[in-house]
């Protein structure tokens, strides 16, 4: 799922668990993806591309069981919960942040092709809805999800515009008919991972900045 829509999930977390600070929530919804970037840069996980990238389905998340498997996410969410709820004595925060971490893999299951493993070492079955096989439909669904997050949160019009604009800015990545800069990433998976890392940070900063005035600090 587009990074801006993962970031928008933080808005739902705040609606359900007001009082949890904005920065931990934002970091939690993208913690899985931060690990993916790190593991790709280190060569622990693998991404491949077609000789020419025309749309997102020309990029293949070939091996990512440590960042994007069901079991790895469950362990990561548990660790976040344990640290926050037990060590920091913030049980409500711990639950909220564990759900935020888990939301990432849930959304990816709803959009990815079959590239999400059950656990490291288990190569079959690979999970995913297959929505990314129809990139333009995926963009519509993802954009509607981001707008829904905004609506539930009752954010500002500037926040809505930001979410929609980030989605539309990715149009060339979802359509073979629209040329874009992604073709420069063909054959350069580590550069692609680094670009995604920057994209994650920019999306989190944008949502955090424009959501801060409506962020619920208490129930």
Q: pLDDT tens across 17-70, in order? A: 999 999 999 999 999 999 999 999 999 999 999 999 999 999 999 999 999 999
Cα 93 to chain centroid distance, Å, stands at 20
| 219 has pLDDT over 80 | no
Q: What average pLDDT does range 150-178 have in this prediction?
A: 97
Nearest Cα neighbor of 183 from 25, 198, 192 is 192
Asked whether residue 63 is assigned to any structural domain, the reply reads yes
Ranges of beta strands (E only) in the chain are 46-49, 59-63
219 in a domain, yes or no? no
Structural domain containing residue 54: 3-214
pLDDT at 218 over 80: no
| Radius of gyration for the chain, computed over Cα atoms and rounded to the nearest angstrom | 17
70-81 helix and 31-42 helix, angle to the nearest 10 degrees: 120
- Each residue's pLDDT tens digit, 56-71: 999 999 999 999 999 9
What is the pTM assigned to this prediction? 0.95
Domain count, the chain: 1
Say how far apart CA 53 and CA 121 lie, in whole Å: 29
pLDDT (tens digit per residue) in 131-148 = 999 999 999 999 999 999
């Amino acid at each position: 799922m587009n990074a801006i829509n993962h970031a928008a999930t933080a808005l739902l977390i705040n609606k359900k668990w007001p009082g949890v600070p904005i920065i931990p929530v934002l970091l939690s919804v993208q913690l899985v993806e931060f690990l993916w970037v790190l593991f790709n840069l280190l060569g622990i996980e693998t991404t491949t591309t077609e000789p020419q990238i025309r749309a997102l389905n020309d990029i293949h998340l070939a091996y990512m069981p440590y960042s994007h498997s069901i079991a790895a996410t469950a362990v990561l969410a548990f660790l976040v919960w344990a640290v926050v709820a037990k060590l920091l004595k913030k049980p409500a925060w711990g639950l909220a942040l564990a759900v935020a971490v888990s939301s990432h893999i849930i959304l990816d299951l709803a959009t990815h092709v079959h590239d999400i493993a059950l656990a490291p070492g288990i190569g079959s079955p690979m999970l995913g809805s297959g929505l990314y096989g129809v990139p333009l439909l995926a963009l519509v669904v993802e954009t509607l999800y981001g707008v829904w997050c905004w609506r539930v949160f009752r954010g500002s019009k500037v926040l809505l515009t930001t979410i929609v604009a980030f989605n539309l800015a990715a149009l060339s990545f979802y359509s073979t008919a629209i040329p874009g800069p992604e073709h420069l990433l063909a054959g350069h998976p580590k550069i692609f991972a680094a670009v995604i890392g920057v994209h994650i940070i920019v999306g989190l900063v944008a949502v955090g900045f424009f959501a801060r005035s409506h962020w619920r600090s208490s129930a």
